[in-house]
Amino acid sequence: MSELKGRRQAFFLTLFMKMVKFILRLQLKAATGTGGRGIRLRSEQDMMELLIGFAKKDNRIRLVTLEGSRTNPNIPRDAFQDYDISYFVTDMQSFQEHDQWLQIFGKPLMMQKPEDMELFPPELGNWFSYLILFEDGNKLDLTLIPVEEIDEYFAKSDGLVKVLLDKDQRIRHEVIASDRQYWIKPPTARQFDDCCNEFWMVSTYVVKGLARKEILFAIDHLSGIARPNLLRMMGWNIGAERGDNFSLGKNYKFIQRFLPNEDWEKLLSTYAQNGYEEMWKSLFTCYELFRKYSRAVSERFGYPYPDYDEAITGYTQKVYASLA
């Protein structure tokens, strides 16, 4: 048994040395550009050649996919985009025995292995991931997936997937990356009411936190629950005005493009939370914006405008006045 293990380790050591030579050749033709520590930033072409080239030479890797923003033609390219790569492998354990093989991809500035952490329980089942920030500024999110779970992977996919390598022709259908799953979806009457209910009810927790002088509690509820529902309502109105065949981006990062400048400035002002007066002002501005956009959505879809606004606005003003 030990002899078999020794031969196996020798095989992988030989493979590792071959791949070190491979990456050194790539690094000799690194693209121009500078990382945060004076190291030249490798280009997308160099990174993809490296990631696919490694997979081609390793018989344990049978399929390679790219996910995320680099598959999305609607997202502008920049140096901060991660390389979200999945390797479908025949032997998970041999990769997990050590991390030396990852040096093939460059010198890490920092690495995280979410499935090997105690404080944060793993969420990927049999999958195993490596989040690596390299010294040149490139970031790799690499996931190892048992080759038997290919069907499950595509079933759970958000649509932003591109097949880079398929050694066994396992993928028999055309895979076209699409962000359709993230397009604005018009709300049902129930969803509209639920959003209003959640915004106004959670706002009372913000009020309570401010009244008690528990600012972190108030900030957490405003930022974590109330404002996201304001953004959701704004998104629904944008979709109603402009159509629902596009995405506002992760965390609504493109919403500025579709808001009047005055409303954008008001929205940004709600992120001022460094004191009690600032928090009260931010809360009242959220009320103003939510009222405007929820009424607009109500009218556009013909949904009843609930009375939560009147009730909670009155409650908030009463509490605020009592603290003067």
Q: What is the DSSP string of 144-191?
A: EEEGGGHHHHHHH--S-EEEEEETT----S------GGGS--PPPHHH
For residue range 113-169, list pLDDT tens digits in order: 999 998 988 888 899 999 999 999 999 999 999 999 999 999 989 888 999 999 999
> What is the chain's mean pLDDT, rounded?
89
Do 203 and 82 lie in one domain? The reply is no
- What 3-state class would DSSP assign to 88? strand
* DSSP characters over 104-139: GG--EEEEE-GGG-SSS---STT-EEEEEEETTS-E
Task: Report the distance separating Cα 302 and Cα 124, nearest Å.
Answer: 42
CATH of the domain at 215: 1.20.120.330
Which range marks the domain in which residue 174 is found? 2-181
CB atoms within 10 A of CB 175: 15
Q: What is the pLDDT of residues 8-54, one digit of tens each?
A: 555 544 554 555 455 445 444 444 344 445 578 999 999 999 999 99
- 153 and 192 belong to one structural domain: no
- Does one domain contain both 78 and 100? yes
Residue 84 and residue 99 in one domain: yes
Res 122: pLDDT: 84
Q: How far is it, in rounded angstroms, from Cα 190 to Cα 117? A: 39
* Domain shared by 161 and 285, yes or no: no
Last residue of a domain, one of 155, 181, 207: 181
Is the four-CA dihedral 26, 27, 29, 35 of positive or negative sign? positive
Q: What is the pLDDT of residue 15?
A: 52
150 vs 172, residue with greater confidence: 150
User: Do 244 and 272 fall within a single domain?
Assistant: yes
pLDDT in tens, 241-257: 998 888 888 898 999 99
- Among residues 156, 181, 206, the one where a domain terminates is 181
The reply to whether 177 and 199 lie within a common domain is: no
Residues 177 and 190 in one domain: no
Same domain for 66 and 158? yes
Q: Are residues 21 and 162 located together in one domain of the fold?
A: yes
Tally of domains in the chain = 2
Q: Of 150, 181, 212, which closes a domain? A: 181
Q: In this predicted structure, which of 27-36, 152-161, 177-186, 207-216 has the lowest mean pLDDT?
A: 27-36
The CATH number linked to 45 is 3.30.460.10
**Which residues have CB under 8 Å from 40's CB, separation 6+?**
30, 31, 32, 33, 34, 136
